[in-house]
Amino acid sequence: DIQMTQSPSSLSASVGDRVTITCRASQSISNYLNWYQQKPGKAPKLLIYTASSLQSGVPSRFSGSGSGTDFTLTINSLQPEDFATYYCQQSYRTPPGFTFGPGTKVDIK
């Protein structure tokens, strides 16, 4: 099975900061990597699909990059509404599984 890891597991940042979250797959998944944002008590929201494509309606300060096993989610100029938990997800083997990473919590410094 493909395992996903994320780093850091949490971070503290200020409004206006640039934030980078890393996701790593246990084997190459080409660019089949998606990013989600989840706020407390809410369903996850798709931000980025296939590593770098911005989902409709998502602000352009969010961007994704990477291929193979290493990927990054970057938030430029962090906004108050961006404080949330971010998950990566591989979609290389579909089916069977959309394995998620363990998440990265971004909170206010």
Partner 1 sequence: QVQLVQSGAEVKKPGASVKVSCKASGYSFTTYGISWVRQAPGQGLEWMGWISAYNGNTNYAQELQGRVTMTTDTSTSTAYMELRSLRSDDTAVYYCARKRSDYDYEGLGYWGQGTLVTVSS
Contact with partner 1 (CB under 8 A): which of 19, 23, 34, 84? 34
Question: Judged by CB under 8 A, does residue 8 bind partner 1?
Answer: no
How many angstroms separate the Cα of 76 from the Cα of each of 34, 40, 91?
A: 18, 22, 25
Distance between CA atoms of residues 102 and 104, nearest Å: 7
Rule CB under 8 A: is residue 50 a binding residue for partner 1? yes
Only segment of 16-24, 32-40, 60-68, 69-77 that touches partner 1 (CB under 8 A): 32-40
| Closest listed residue to residue 64, CA positions, set 89, 83, 41 | 89
Q: Which 77-96 residues touch partner 1, going by CB under 8 A?
A: 87, 89, 91-92, 94-96
108 and 10 in contact (C-beta within 8 Å)?
no
Minimum gap (Å) between residue 84 Cβ and partner 1: 13
Contact between 54 and 73 under an 8 Å Cβ cutoff? The reply is: no
**Site residues for partner 1 per CB under 8 A:** 1, 32, 34, 36, 38, 43-46, 49-50, 53, 55, 87, 89, 91-92, 94-103
